[in-house]
Amino acid sequence: MTVRMYAMTCGWITLPRGMFLAGDEGELTVPVPVYLIEHDKGRVVYDSGLSLAVQKDAVGYLGKRGSVFKVAYKPGEEVAARLAECQADAGKVDTLVLSHLHWDHAGGTAQIPNASIVVQGAEWDYAASLDDPFARGYKPDEFDCGHDVRRVDGEHDLFGDGSVVCLPTPGHTPGHQSLRVRLPGGEVVLAGDACYLCKTLDTFQAPVNSWDKDIQLASLRKLRAMRDAGARVFYGHDPEFWATIPHGPAPVA
- Least gap, CB of 253 to Zn ion (angstroms): 25
- Least gap, CB of 137 to Zn ion (angstroms): 8
Of 19, 88, 84, 12, nearest to 50 (Cα)?
12
Kindly write out the interface string for residues 167-196 of this chain, putting x where it contacts Zn ion by CB under 5 A and - elsewhere.
Answer: --------------------------x---
The residue among 98 and 165 lying less far from Zn ion, judged by its C-beta, is 98
Sheet harboring 156-157: ordered strands across?
156-157, 164-168, 177-183, 186-192, 232-235
Question: In sequence order, what are the residues at sequence separation of 6 or more whose Cβ sits closer than 8 angstroms to the Cβ of residue 195?
Answer: 201, 219, 220, 223, 233, 235, 236
State whether residue 104 is helix, strand or coil.
Answer: helix
Binders in 114-153 for Zn ion, by CB under 5 A = none
The residue among 14 and 161 lying less far from Zn ion, judged by its C-beta, is 14
The residue among 78 and 104 lying less far from Zn ion, judged by its C-beta, is 104
Burial 39-58 (b: 16+ CB within 10 A, else e): beebbbbbbbbbbbbbbeeb
- Least gap, CB of 182 to Zn ion (angstroms): 24
Binders in 82-111 for Zn ion, by CB under 5 A = 104
Binders in 201-220 for Zn ion, by CB under 5 A = none
- Least gap, CB of 102 to Zn ion (angstroms): 6
Of 161, 194, 179, 189, nearest to 96 (Cα)?
179
Give me the residues that bind Zn ion (CB under 5 A), please. 104, 193
